Amino acid sequence: AVERTLVIIKPDAVKKNAVGDIIRIFQENDLKLLAIKMVHLTKEQAKKFYIVHKDRPFYDELTDFMSSGPCVPMVLEGENAIARVREIIGATDPAKAAEGTIRKKYGTDVGRNAVHASDSPESAAYEIPFFFNQLEIHEQ
Ligand code: CMP
């Protein structure tokens, strides 16, 4: 099925000037870019975005990092997009990410891992409207 997924280029990858390369990789994989912006999240906004992780030991570190600088959320669309994007980005821990994946190329460690992507249709349904309203999502 055609799906939409939310990807965030995280503050570490923005600082590395990797935004253009990361967008190119998705587009070369036949994922349509329907929405994109640059935002500097507050700590409170980062906590709300990652609310599913609120009881994890890394919640405070994760939300500190995600509010440490600008990030680039985007909506991508394509056949089986949720699983396919997760393959393209690679394992959460860049040290375990496969050769050729975005996290292998740009990630530093499990916290600073360059990108986030929705892990299920339910996550995408929460994450896409967190950043984008209907007028900001452009059907193609
Ligand atoms: P992400 O796809 O953004 O979803 C949740 C994030 O939590 C994950 O990527 C990691 O960056 C982060 N995370 C997972 N485990 C740890 C950890 N042990 N320490 C710090 N951050 C973590």
Query: Predicted ipTM?
Result: 0.93
Binding residues for ATP: 10, 58, 86, 92, 103, 113
For the question of residue 53 being annotated catalytic, the response is no
- Bridge-based pairing of strands 32-36 and 72-79 is antiparallel
Angstrom distances, CA of residue 16 to CA of 12, 60, 70, 106, 112: 6, 23, 12, 8, 12
Residue ranges covered by each domain of the chain:
2-132
92: Cβ below 6 Å to ligand 1?
yes
113: Cβ below 6 Å to ligand 1?
yes
The whole-number pLDDT of residue 68 equals 98
| Residue 46: closest CA among 28, 27, 62 | 62
Intervals of the chain under pLDDT 50: none
Q: How far apart are CA 57 and CA 77, in angstroms?
A: 32
pLDDT 10s digits, 39-59: 999 999 999 999 999 999 999
The whole-number pLDDT of residue 2 equals 98
Task: Give the Cα-Cα-Cα angle 25, 85, 62 (nearest 5 degrees).
Answer: 100
The whole-number pLDDT of residue 79 equals 98
Q: Which CATH superfamily is domain 2-132 in?
A: Nucleoside diphosphate kinase-like domain (3.30.70.141)
Task: Give the Cα-Cα-Cα angle 14, 74, 134 (nearest 5 degrees).
Answer: 145
Q: What is the pTM of this model?
A: 0.98
The whole-number pLDDT of residue 97 equals 98
Mutate to test the pocket of ligand 1, among 55, 108, 113, 126 (most ligand atoms within 8 A of CB): 113
Q: Is 41 helix (H, G, I), strand (E, B) or coil?
A: coil
111: Cβ below 6 Å to ligand 1?
yes
